[in-house]
Amino acid sequence: MVKQISFKGKKYPLRIGYKALKGVNAELGRDFRGDQTTFDYEGAESLLFHGLKQGCAFAGKEFDLKREQMEDVLEESLTEFIQAFTTFSQDAQKGANLSVKK
């Protein structure tokens, strides 16, 4: 699944999957902390960067953003990012629940 994030009048594909999560772990030495009561600012920037990179690769589009720009992207489109992350998380949970035998 690919979602869209807006930045400076352009839409960028976002895909949060295995490769994006692995990229966050490689960059930060830890996983994104999306289930805590405090917002993981550093993790969000890293997850956005790796998710955009994977989204562009999946969609066959050029990825023209730098890691340092993720704070600005989130400033402009934080709501889109949170909605996309929530959708990806819910879909992953549904998929995990379907594979569990009762």
Beta-carbon count within 10 A of 12 CB: 24
pLDDT of residue 37: 80
Percent of the chain with pLDDT over 70: 91
The single-letter DSSP state of residue 62 is -
pTM of the model: 0.87
Spans of the chain below 70 pLDDT: 95-102
pLDDT digits (tens, 9 = 90+) for 57-79: 999 999 999 999 999 999 999 99
Closest CA to 58 of 102, 9, 17: 17
